[in-house]
Structure 1
Amino acid sequence: MRLTLVLAAAMLGVSVMGVGLVRAATYSEPSAGPIVVPTDQKLGPADGTTGSCAGAPVQAERELRGMWLTTVMNIDWPSRPGLPEAQVKAEYLKWLDLAVARRHNAIFVHVRPSGDAFWPSAYAPWSEWLTGKRDGKSPGWDPMEFMVAEAHARNLEFHAWFNPYRGTQPGPDGPGADFGKLAPNHPLLKHRDWAIAYPDGKTARLYFDPGNPAARKFVEDAMLEAVAKYDIDGVHFDDFFYPYPEGGGSTFKDDASFAKRTNKSLGRAAWRRANVDTLVHEMSDRIKQLKPWVKFGISPFGIWRNKTTDPSGSDSHGLESYDAQFADTRKWVREGWLDYVVPQLYWAIGFDKADYAKVLPWWVQTVKGTEVQLYVGQGDYRVGEKGPWKQPDQLDRQLALNDRYGVQGSVHFSARQVQADKLGSVTRYTTNHYAAPALLPTMKKLPLEIPGTPRATAARRTGSTVTIEWQAGGGPEPVSWALYRVDAATPQKAALVATGRRGSQDVVDPAPPAAEATYCMSGLDRSGNESPLSSPVSVSP
């Protein structure tokens, strides 16, 4: 995702999450008239809560809502490198507060931006974006432990975001491809045969060679270390596999590993795709062997292939990740190696090279019939750019399309843009699409451990809130809870009004009506499976 310097025409003028330059694109105006969703493409609403509270059916949205918190180049957090522990923590908590205020239920934090780590790692040096130095020395505390605990305290899923192959970033002071500027414990110093510099010139950076089995095993181990040590909810990759082509005659110099390939019948492109396939497949298996409940998801570039190249591709005319990055994203979905996929659809409705309204249904069809959930990477960072992005309702319209197609969630790039709320666009889509809390979609392929029915024993007013007294029911302990309310304004439904993490906060309705209200609550396991509802309890005016 990521601001990498690319050919504007090939990349449609859009970069994804990352570091570098974004060039302007020429836009066509959105086509007039309503967008029609073909009946055979509708997936319907995401799985929802069933049951009733005091005779009223419960109503709760089931969708993932999240944002990417980018650490590389200090794009989002920390605000600059080398800050004191207390300030780093305080800034992080403000980002979580923003997520809660926008009614998100997940956060995706950049913990391995470039072969480094935001945790004490045996495989990688401490990130310079945290410590401010490239000396590999500990800052004296464990950011990952803090980040996960605080996210969970607010009932936010924590997805650890890793860049598998990137070893360094370019910059005015390096390190780029200069081994002399690496941290003393950087693994590419010890294993220079794993390193490939790309592109040529001042913007060069080092990559772990995807075609070197030892390098691949090492980066897998480095990421799985975090899975083993921390209570993360998800392992998340973005769109960096083989690097985006950057022009200027540069080539990715993997001749040595290509010559050693075991299957000599494979050409270079097929061999590179096989290398990335192996990483994805092995990570999928190894995560589930280690912790079966941890989700594995990838956020690829939004175009797999164009249908002018491949009849199975999307109705688009841009860079093809299958050919340019050797990323066969459709295969990963169809093979079930992923739990979720988050294509970066950072294009406006009506954009001629990649129309959001045309690329979205391709992804809907791609996940159809699989157990892979579809979320969409939303381009909040583009708001305010020329053309359709000058329209404050562009993202609002895109989320409306997502709803009509039954998309199961969205992740917004990035946190700083969610905070900025350019043109009031974030407020607009929050009001129209995130007005109430949402539960995470259940994942049937993950472990099932439905909690026992909780016992709500009383409801009491405390100032401007209502607190529910409750006890756990028999059976497995809930990981989180959901609170439903029936009141005079909506007697026909029991609406979801709050969620929370067990043990981290009281069960509270933060904005109860002044009149009488009736409440029921449920418990959920970490895969989103929900218990039956408690018996109702009421509170007087």
Structure 2
Amino acid sequence: MTSPTKIITRVGAAALAAATLTACIPAIGENGAQEAVPPGATGECPAVKAPGDSAHRQLRAMWIATVGGADWPKPGDRGSKERQQASFRRLLDTAKAMNLNAVVVQIRPNSDAFYDSPYEPWSQWITGKAGKDPGYDVLGFMLAEAHKRNLEFHAWFNPYRISRQADLNKLPADSPARRHPEWVRKYGTGLWYDPGVPQVRELATNAVMDVVRKYDIDAVHFDDYFYPYPEGGRYPDQATYKAYGNGKSLAEWRRGNVDSLVRTLSQKIHQAKPWVRFGISPFGVWRNRTSDPAGSDTRALQSYDDQYADTRKWVKEGWVDYITPQLYWSMNDPRASYTTLVRWWSDQVEDTGVQLTIGQAAYRVGTDAAWRDPAELSRHLTFNKRYPQVRGDVYFSASSLAANTRGFAQKLRDDHYRRPAIPPVAKGADGRAPTPVGDVSATAEGGGKGVRVQWRPSQGSTAYAVYRVAGRKPACAPVDAGALIATVRGGGVIDPGARRGQTYTYYVTALDRTHRESAPARGATVTGG
């Protein structure tokens, strides 16, 4: 496996420099360390509008899987906090080098926790021993490092999976599964909570809401594990169905159980913190058209029938803020082509307000004939441009992006991610955008080191967008969204891409937690030294 640092080398010095634009001034914190620009302060340009929405706005993310040490922490990092943390930072640096703007991190992989939970034991994937305290706040560390790089942190939970092995006695004594074996079902090679048990749904809800209330996460994320994928034989929930079925068919009852969890969590998350989003990344096929006229022209497993996950309903009801179907097929796969499914999902989100992002199979590059060409994923993103409903992409997974098999990640960056991007404004965001920043200045660092751009942070802001235009431009002018060079938390950046002798005008806007953007402040012009 290629080291996560290798892709940084491959994307080149300019890319690395752009990815590591450093904050010059600390961001405003809860301790009020820095005075913010109040409304009506000098520096505003009243007649200039905010950039607004455009195709340049995209969510760009990667999954960081923790179960089994898939991405992090690797087995060799479990004995050392320092080594473990350094490995995580390298993954985040890979994300920044790729000009991504979010990470989706698995923090509850197996009814366990990457944080001090009152409900479940510490995860075995941190130290190698389930229930062992790693000696630091793992989630707090990950969250702080992501936000330091202005990467959104989507906390990824698995609601029902307990263990990939089937011996209940191998779990920690304080595991809810050990304390309540009546909630547990053996299926396939592992252990699962029964979604039909009301206390199971309550446990999953409590685990999620504990994190929502305690941590400054940006989103709650579920993947495709609801009722388990079929592994032969019937899922053993006959007794639960008899107790709670209430005359419904088995399939209808099972879907109702999953719906109940999704609906309840959506309500509770938004009541607790309206800016925290709720997103789900389901299996890519809802139903085949042969089963339902509303389905896609595909011949694949169906989440509706095989996992009892009515993913289309969740979109239509608005229970999710974003949906990220895992479209892990090539452009021309005869069973379920990527193009067919992008069209189908684009139709489903139309007029719902739910944002569509696509789960991309970075792990498949180079695995077989259909994925031998490293340009396959680049073609996916080119095709997405035909459908404005598609608002970004999420890659499975971090290790695959870092490995850069056959140069596919380099090609993605060269073809589509040369500049950073701001995520779309979150579904349901209301209210006013932040106050514009004040006192924008630009100073040549000398010696070809770039330009230092600084500003005074504004009230209600979480991050800032920096735009660079060649030449001397008016101080008050609208900005082109395609001129974005950085998004940061703090009061300044150093732009290493500025060339000696070239004159530039810099504009800065303020962004809040939901990515609403202020108008640009008065710009600053400088000649690179």
**TM-score by structure 1 length?**
0.84
Matched, 1:226 2:226: no
How far apart are the structure 1 equivalents of 2:335 and 2:415?
28
- The aligned runs of 1:418-457 (5 Å cut-off) are 418-457=401-440
Aligned to 1:127: 123
Aligned to 2:26: none
- The aligned runs of 1:84-163 (5 Å cut-off) are 84-134=80-130, 136-163=131-158
Aligned to 1:328: 310
How far apart are the structure 2 equivalents of 1:377 and 1:439?
18
1:372: Cα distance to partner?
0.4
2:348 alignment partner, one of 366, 375, 397: 366
- The aligned runs of 1:360-509 (5 Å cut-off) are 360-406=342-388, 407-463=390-446, 464-473=449-458, 476-488=459-471, 495-502=483-490, 506-509=492-495
Matched, 1:82 2:78: yes
2:339 alignment partner, one of 321, 338, 357: 357
Range 217-226 or range 278-287, more displaced: 217-226
2:261 alignment partner, one of 279, 304, 307: 279
Aligned to 2:514: 527
Range 456-465 or range 217-226, more displaced: 456-465
Matched, 1:191 2:180: yes
Aligned to 1:293: 275
SS in structure 1 at match of 2:161: coil
Q: Which amino acid aligns with 1:382?
A: R
CA contact (8 A) 2:62 2:396 kept: yes
CA contact (8 A) 1:450 1:529 kept: yes
1:83: Cα distance to partner?
2.4
How far apart are the structure 2 equivalents of 1:93 and 1:271?
44
Q: Which amino acid aligns with 1:98?
A: T
Pair 1:502–1:384, CA change in 2 (3 A) = same
Q: Which amino acid aligns with 1:518?
A: T
CA contact (8 A) 2:472 2:503 kept: no
Range 371-380 or range 212-221, more displaced: 212-221
Pair 1:53–1:83, CA change in 2 (3 A) = farther
- The aligned runs of 1:259-274 (5 Å cut-off) are 259-261=242-244, 264-274=246-256
Q: Which amino acid aligns with 1:537?
A: A
Q: Which amino acid aligns with 1:130?
A: I
How far apart are the structure 1 equivalents of 2:461 and 2:212?
22
How far apart are the structure 2 equivalents of 1:317 and 1:395?
22
Aligned to 2:12: none
How far apart are the structure 1 equivalents of 2:354 and 2:242?
35
RMSD over aligned Cα atoms: 2.2
2:63 alignment partner, one of 60, 63, 68: 68
Pair 1:217–1:207, CA change in 2 (3 A) = same
Q: Which amino acid aligns with 1:222?
A: A
Matched, 1:338 2:320: yes
Pair 1:452–1:57, CA change in 2 (3 A) = closer
Q: Which amino acid aligns with 1:517?
A: Y
CA contact (8 A) 1:66 1:108 kept: yes
1:243 alignment partner, one of 210, 215, 228: 228
SS in structure 2 at match of 1:343: coil
Q: Which amino acid aligns with 1:361?
A: R
Aligned to 2:287: 305
CA deviations over 1:480-506 (Å, ceiling 9, x no partner): 000011104999957111110136xx3
Percent identity reads 45
SS in structure 2 at match of 1:99: helix
1:456: Cα distance to partner?
3.3
SS in structure 1 at match of 2:87: helix
SS in structure 1 at match of 2:401: helix
Aligned length: 473
SS in structure 2 at match of 1:133: coil
Q: Which amino acid aligns with 1:372?
A: V
Q: Which amino acid aligns with 1:157?
A: E
SS in structure 1 at match of 2:455: strand
How far apart are the structure 2 equivalents of 1:445 and 1:56?
19
CA contact (8 A) 1:60 1:495 kept: no
CA contact (8 A) 2:440 2:508 kept: no
Structure 2 runs not aligned, ≥5 long: 1-44
Pair 1:54–1:307, CA change in 2 (3 A) = closer
Aligned to 2:31: none
Range 80-89 or range 294-303, more displaced: 80-89
1:54: Cα distance to partner?
10
- The aligned runs of 1:172-187 (5 Å cut-off) are 176-187=165-176
Pair 1:277–1:335, CA change in 2 (3 A) = same
Pair 1:57–1:529, CA change in 2 (3 A) = closer
Pair 1:130–1:53, CA change in 2 (3 A) = farther
Aligned to 1:215: 200
1:179: Cα distance to partner?
1.8
CA deviations over 1:38-80 (Å, ceiling 9, x no partner): xxxxxxxxxxxxx999999898820000000011010110111
CA contact (8 A) 2:473 2:505 kept: no
CA contact (8 A) 1:296 1:339 kept: yes
SS in structure 2 at match of 1:76: coil
1:253: Cα distance to partner?
0.7
Range 62-71 or range 438-447, more displaced: 438-447
CA deviations over 1:273-327 (Å, ceiling 9, x no partner): 0000001000100111111110100000000000011010001001011000000
Pair 1:483–1:72, CA change in 2 (3 A) = same
How far apart are the structure 2 equivalents of 1:125 and 1:280?
24
Aligned to 1:167: 162
CA contact (8 A) 1:518 1:536 kept: yes
How far apart are the structure 1 equivalents of 2:472 and 2:357?
33
Aligned to 1:539: 526
Aligned to 1:10: none
Q: Which amino acid aligns with 1:219?
A: A
CA contact (8 A) 2:330 2:371 kept: yes
CA contact (8 A) 1:367 1:374 kept: yes
